[in-house]
Structure 1
Amino acid sequence: PLVMVVDHQRTAIMENAHLVLSAASFAESDGTVINNEGRAQRFFQVYDPAYYDSKTVMLESWRWLHSLHSTLLSREVDWTQLDHVIDAVVAKIPELAGIKDAAPDATFRIRGQKLAREPHRYSGRTAMRANISVHEPRQPQDIDTMFTFSMEGNNQPTAHRSQVPFAWAPGWNSPQAWNKFQDEVGGKLRFGDPGVRLFETSENGLDYFTSVPARFQPQDGKWRIAPYYHLFGSDELSQRAPVFQSRMPQPYIKLNPADAAKLGVNAGTRVSFSYDGNTVTLPVEIAEGLTAGQVGLPMGMSGIAPVLAGAHLEDLKEAQQ
């Protein structure tokens, strides 16, 4: 079978792919996310990679996939803007109709102007590409959103909009400039928070206080994995940066003192367990605050997938030397 990978970073899967298509990252594309509040919020492209390297061939994943699909069906590409994708999603899944109101479409203007991504004081724009050419090319044109890739555009605090890429007002420092965009000092934005709620909770509320999970009960020969998250190391993307790697802890497994005594291991002893056909070996750390019958693992680190949170181990033992 043909293995095709569409991604913005190199992964192990990519090494075995027959075809690799370079996709834009979250900073290089636009889209919609739905947060834990149930609010649909739009995110916007920060910069155009091709502006800094004309050899770059990088598209949003939906552009790649739609182009391939259109080619297979021998038809014209009809998703040329993000708005077309949003319309298609709404038509297919009416429950997500609210995402269309999460932000204005690409035709939005204030007094004929798009919204500026950059403040007027933005400097050094020409110097950014001086190593390539001292002749500054035309700024990239954004066909997907209401923003410009430049300082030219509208940024009036009184303009009727919720999308504010930066806060600037004459005579004010940047933190205090936000006061000009709010209905009162420290209040809400003049024209509402960005995004739109897709659903509301029922009038009866949720059963947080009546549907209480049973208390954890340890079982002999069985351990439940308690997830430990680290600011430096648990994120798949940031852990690739050398500066982050210098702050990452070494992988470990945390044990309650009672469990460590039962297994006959001490801090620093290497123990092993198997999961999904793989054997993992880690040094022990003693954790007084960890409940007996549970083990702590640093989620997201090499060999420790986040899906392990809450899973159970049954073959935990001291590793053979």
Structure 2
Amino acid sequence: MAPKDVPSMILLNLALVLLLLGSSDAQGLQVGFYQKTCPKAEEIIRKEMTTIMSLAPSLAGPLLRMHFHDCFVRGCDASILLNGTDQNNPAEKDGRPNLSLRGYGVIDRIKAKLEKACPGIVSCADILALVARDGVLLTKGPYWEVPTGRRDGKISVASETLTNLPPPFFSTSQILNLFFIPKGLNAKDLVVLSGGHTIGTSHCSSFSNRLYNFTGNGDADPMLDKNYLPKLKSKCRPNDATTIVEMDPGSFKTFDTSYYKLVAKRRALFTSDATLILDSQTKAYVERQAQANGFPSEFFRDFGESMVKMGNIEVLTGNQGEIRKKCAFVN
């Protein structure tokens, strides 16, 4: 159930919920999966997230990103959380695209609470999905019902992150055709889920090529707003691998449509974001959200729908996988 203090406008309408339930049933997931086995599971998660976010609101973005990175490698099976068995067998969290991820301690803390309340019942994969939703909700974003019932995987391979996670320097069409469509997602899902960049930060190294060496001749990306370029250069010096920059300056702790305003103004950090305004399949959506004033109802509704769709990627259900006792280790 949605908490009482969530504005009714944020909730997905009944027709949408029924649509999502119908699509998730095929995957073996359902809203309220733990209603009988661990009835307070979602309440425990939200309570912990409320406390955590009050202390560290900047964690919402990384936790949302963690769910995304989990689902795109072996499906939404919490393989992102597993530790490598030894130096010769690094896990997904050791893969280059995941080295900047943070928030693992949040998942461990919540998992410990759930194990105390309902031992061996709630999967780490479901925790990731629910934590991502609550992080968005607690940054003034939308609420959506999360179908649950995922099981945890037992395999995690670092090299698979390189072939399954979209790099920030790829274009919209490359990401769509090489990563999204193979996972059952479409152009709308790409432009909607990219809106999650309204919360969070990025290391300069993820986009510095656009500032200093875009074509290999020491030049900047001509797609970048020429008035914004000096500001980014003042924050990110050449070869800077440590400085962190807000992806949505001035609003990176609030889930809203301001990200799309930046994309429309050619002030997005990543090539993957910047090219959304150039691609015929995504341009209109960016422009529409960039002009949205007041309550961003369309984006909020769409984000919930695309998150449920993403959360269905290659899930393990029934007797597949396991319910890990500790998220970093197989049982």
- Fold conserved (TM > 0.5)? no
Decide which structure has the larger Cα Rg and report it. 1
Report the structure, 1 or 2, having the larger strand content.
1
TM-score (norm 1): 0.25
Report the structure, 1 or 2, having the larger helix content.
2
Higher relative contact order (CA 8 A, sep 6+): 2
